[in-house]
Each structure stands twice: as structure tokens, then as C-alpha cells.
Amino acid sequence: MSGSFFGGIHPDDGKKMSEHSEIENLPAPEQVVIPMSLHVGTPCEPLVKPGDTVFLGQKIGEAKGAISAPIHSSVSGVVAAVEPRLHPNGKQVMSVVILNDGKDATEPNSDAQTDKAARDPKALADIIREAGIVGMGGAAFPTHFKISSGIGKADTLIINGAECEPFITADHRIMLESPDEVLSGIRYLTAAMELNKAILAIEANKKNAIALLKKKIGQEKDIEIRVLKTRYPQGAEKQLIQAVTGRLVPPGGLPADIGCAVFNVYTAWSVHRAVEQGIPAIDRIVTVSGPAIADPKNLRVRVGTPVSDLIEAAGGFNGTPLKVLMGGPMMGVALFDISVPVIKATNAILAMGDESEKSVKDPKCIRCGRCVNVCPMHLLPVYMYISEQNDDMQMLDKLNLTDCMECGSCAYVCPGRLHLVSSFRTAKVKLNKFKADRTKQS
Ligand code: SF4
Ligand code: SF4
């Protein structure tokens, strides 16, 4: 068993609800809505207009700038509209609406690119960029940019199979059901990073996947499986690096600053498919689960499918859900409209019941210090909260508020039931404004 990281918690994981559910293909919907912002960075520019015919996998959004990734059609059919539509982030985002013709017709010249890649780092990075692959663990950071900015700096490549958020089992299933493809993708990523070895880090609660992957790797020395103690938020990049290498990413720093690069297992699988089959990032595996879902499942879903279709495929709601989340219960985003589309970063749709309601009428801090003991970023949540309440921007800056990754560990253990994470989100907005105003005045 490998090392660990500071702080963290061990929440009820709820993974049993879906971990034995084999991945099912959800039929493509009659219409997909594909936002031009499916990644961290600059949104894409639409390449199509209403009335255009598109193929499955055709590029419909051009990446703009270095931190961006092209977007492809997840069905074949006709473009019905190019207009702002509701994004899971709650904003109206320019989107391409495509009426599915049900044919999944591909471009005549679409092709596997294995020969071209031939393990040449530059060619591999180009394929990964053109396939629109982004961090599939939820971060959605463009993979090609991580590769190009890490080459020459990173000596350690870590593949993230931790999947530490409760209820989510999508990565666990891909490792179990497609181990050869995952390992192949890891080897392509290793070659793209100009390294010789990768460490595949998996939490100890995925025993069957660990055993299977170890068997598949056999005597090969280019991929090492590192088994990690089960602890949240192990899958967060900085915590994973600390657990695997003992290295600490400095405040405000990046993994490459300490010689590391981290990619998710589903990203590796996507790289394999792009290189070997020429298929871009047009779908993803989503865990549909939670106490308020009738029949939890893992589904392979086209990007642009309405979330409501996934819930229906999982038997609908089991009672009235208190909230529906995109992502896990700790870091997921609450959805106020379930007609929003699945995006590249959607790893889970969870419907939570009354048991998830932890609010109290009169939240109070009793100065117990538990939040400080669990913060994996070595922050002082209680003082950040007080500073936000007092609008003390200088203190928030001193307390390194921007290092807070909103993991929710502090709120999870807080006996006073303070709304710590929402306070930190508000504080970040205020601090950004404060800094911008200060810059204008100077
Ligand atoms: S939400 Fe922020 S302050 Fe709270 S434990 Fe996580 S990183 Fe620390
Ligand atoms: S855990 Fe909650 S009650 Fe305890 S010190 Fe932190 S904010 Fe206060």
C-alpha cells in the first residue's frame, strides 16, 4: 500500500449501488445539444450553421487559443440551430443543436491513426488535440496542453484510477471492462510525454480491477500499479501526487513544477480509441446513482444527451429527490434543470434524497478545529469563513483562499453545519473583484 496525503475524510461511499452494474449503451437521443464550451479554457467557435448535414465525429467546433479543445458531433444528422442554450454550469452558452438521423454515418475518410502515431510524441499529441480529448475525471482540462506543457519537466506520469468521490463507479467499470484499452492508452500517454514508465494509482476498494490489471500487465515494467488507501479527496491531482510520490505542489503551483503529470484512466481509454480507431471524444461513461434513483446504472452516453434521458434509463426517481447533481456528492454541481446536456466532464448524475440534507436552522461555529484537521490543502477553513462573513479581503488573501479546491471535507465534518464551501465560493468572487479594483486604482 502506498503513502497518503494530509487531511481528508472517509465518507460513506455508496459505491455498492452501481459498482456491479456493467456499462450499458444508452441509445442516442433524437436531438443533441452540444455546447461550445466543453473544457476549461477558451470556448470553441462553431464550424456549422443551421441546415448543414453533419457526420458522426465531424468537427463542429474549432478550438480557439492554446487552452481549448475541438468539439465533434456525437450523432449524424442535420444542424437545427446554433444558439445559446442552458449549460450545466447554469449559464447560457453557444451550442450546436443537431437532429439525429439515427444512421451514425461517419465521414468517408475517417480513419484510425495508429501508423501515423507510431509512438511519435508530436504525432500523438496532435491526434489527442484533434480528437478533443480533455481531462475526463471531471476537470476537463485540454489533454494536449497538459502534455505539451509537461514535456521535459515531468519525470513521473501518474494515471488516476482513484475515483474517490462517493457513488461514482464509472472509472472502476472501464478498468474492469476494458483493461487492454486502458493500458494501451496509458502507453500512448507515456510515449507522448517522452517517458518510459507510468504509475497507475488505484484505491484499495477496487480489488477486482487491481487484480485484473496486474494480471494484464504481467512482467512488463512500463506500468506499475500503486494501491492507495481509500480516502477522499485522493483523486484530486495534488493529493494524488502527494500520496504517490510524497512531493508537494507549492501553493499556486502546478504538477509540472514538481515533475509530475496526471491523467485520468478514462482519458487514457479515450486516447487509445482516438489513436487506434480515429474516434474523437463524442461520448462518455456516466454513473447514474444515488438514494433517489430507482435502478442505479453505468451508461455510455453521447455528449449532448439530456440528463433527463439518463435518469429515465435508470428507472427514474425513487421518490422526490432533494437535489440532482452532476458529479459527486462532495464536488458536484447542483442541477436546477435536468434538460441540460451531458458534457465531456460528466462522470456522474446523482439524485440525492432527504438523507443528504445537513442544514440546520442556526448554523454556529463551536471552534472545534475539525475543519482544520481535515483540510488537505493545509488551510484554515474556520478563519476563511469568518473573514468572508466580515468581508476581510486582505485576510482572505493571506489565508490562501484561492488554494481551496472546494472539496467539501471541512463542511462534511463540521458539527456546526456551517455552509463553508458556499462561503468560500462567494469569497473567491469577492476577492477577485477586490483584486481587480485594486489593480484599476494603481
Ligand atoms: S473545501 Fe477548501 S477549505 Fe474546505 S477542506 Fe476542502 S480545500 Fe480545505
Ligand atoms: S469544524 Fe465547523 S464548528 Fe468546528 S471550527 Fe470548523 S467551522 Fe467551526
How far does the chain reach from its first CA to its final CA, in angstroms?
52
Give the domain CATH number at 269: 3.40.50.11540
Residue 260 and residue 137 in one domain: yes
Tell me: the pLDDT tens digits for 4-17? Answer: 788 889 887 899 99
Confidence at 66, pLDDT banded by 50, 70, 90: confident
Confidence at 115, pLDDT banded by 50, 70, 90: low
DSSP state of 354: G
Mean pLDDT, range 365-382, rounded to an integer: 95
What are φ and ψ of residue 35, in 5° steps? -65, 150
Q: Which domain holds residue 136?
A: 111-277
Question: Which ligand is closest in space to the CA of residue 386?
Answer: 2
Confidence at 400, pLDDT banded by 50, 70, 90: very high
Q: Report yes or no on 385 lying in a domain.
A: yes
Q: What amino acid is encoded at 293 in this protein?
A: I
Q: Rounding to the nearest 10 degrees, give the CA dihedral for residues 322, 302, 408, 414.
A: 20
Domain boundary among 250, 277, 304: 277
Q: Report yes or no on 232 lying in a domain.
A: yes
Residue 263 and residue 144 in one domain: yes
Q: Report yes or no on 300 lying in a domain.
A: no
Q: Report yes or no on 246 lying in a domain.
A: yes
Tell me: the pLDDT tens digits for 246-274? Answer: 999 888 788 999 999 999 999 999 999 99
CA of 403 to the centre of ligand 1 (A): 8
Cβ count within 10 A of residue 379 = 21
Residue 386 and residue 249 in one domain: no
pLDDT of res. 118: 58
CA of 64 to the centre of ligand 1 (A): 33
At residue 36's C-alpha, the angle toward residues 30 and 40, to 5°, is 125
Q: Does the Cβ of 250 fall within 6 Å of ligand 2?
A: no
Domain boundary among 222, 251, 277: 277
Q: Give yes or no for a contact between 234 and 407, defined as CB atoms under 8 angstroms apart.
A: no
Cα 61 vs. chain centroid, distance in angstroms?
Answer: 20
CA of 430 to the centre of ligand 1 (A): 18
Sequence-distant (6+) residues with CB within 8 A of 130 are: 59, 70, 274, 280
Q: Give yes or no for a contact between 136 and 286, defined as CB atoms under 8 angstroms apart.
A: no
Residue 168 and residue 272 in one domain: yes
pLDDT of res. 431: 95
Average pLDDT along the chain? 93
pLDDT of res. 334: 93
Looking at the 3D structure of the chain, how many domains does it have?
2
Q: Report yes or no on 137 lying in a domain.
A: yes
User: What span, in angstroms and rounded, lies between the C-alpha atoms of 338 and 354?
Assistant: 19
Cell of 135: 481531462
Q: Report yes or no on 323 lying in a domain.
A: no
Residue 267 and residue 396 in one domain: no
Question: Which ligand is closest in space to the CA of residue 366?
Answer: 2
Mutate to test the pocket of ligand 2, among 9, 373, 414, 420 (most ligand atoms within 8 A of CB): 414
User: What span, in angstroms and rounded, lies between the C-alpha atoms of 297 and 109?
Assistant: 35
Q: Does the Cβ of 360 fall within 6 Å of ligand 2?
A: no
Is the pLDDT at 203 greater than 90? The verdict is: yes
Q: Give yes or no for a contact between 407 and 233, defined as CB atoms under 8 angstroms apart.
A: yes
Atom index in ligand 1 nearest the CA of residue 408 equals 1
User: What span, in angstroms and rounded, lies between the C-alpha atoms of 146 and 68?
Assistant: 11
Mutate to test the pocket of ligand 1, among 421, 425, 426, 428 (most ligand atoms within 8 A of CB): 421
Residue 240 and residue 381 in one domain: no
Q: Report yes or no on 76 lying in a domain.
A: no
Instruction: Give the SS3 label for residue 356.
Output: helix
Is the pLDDT at 116 greater than 60? The verdict is: no
Q: Look at ligand 2, atom 7, and give the residue with the nearest C-alpha.
A: 382
For the purposes of burial, counting CB atoms within 10 Å of the CB of 65, is it exposed (0-12), middle (13-18) or buried (19 or more)?
A: exposed
Is the pLDDT at 68 greater than 90? The verdict is: yes
Q: Look at ligand 1, atom 3, and give the residue with the nearest C-alpha.
A: 381
Domain boundary among 277, 311, 336: 277
Residue 137 and residue 257 in one domain: yes
Q: Does the Cβ of 338 fall within 6 Å of ligand 2?
A: no
Q: Does the Cβ of 204 fall within 6 Å of ligand 2?
A: no
Instruction: Give the SS3 label for residue 10.
Output: coil
Q: Report yes or no on 231 lying in a domain.
A: yes
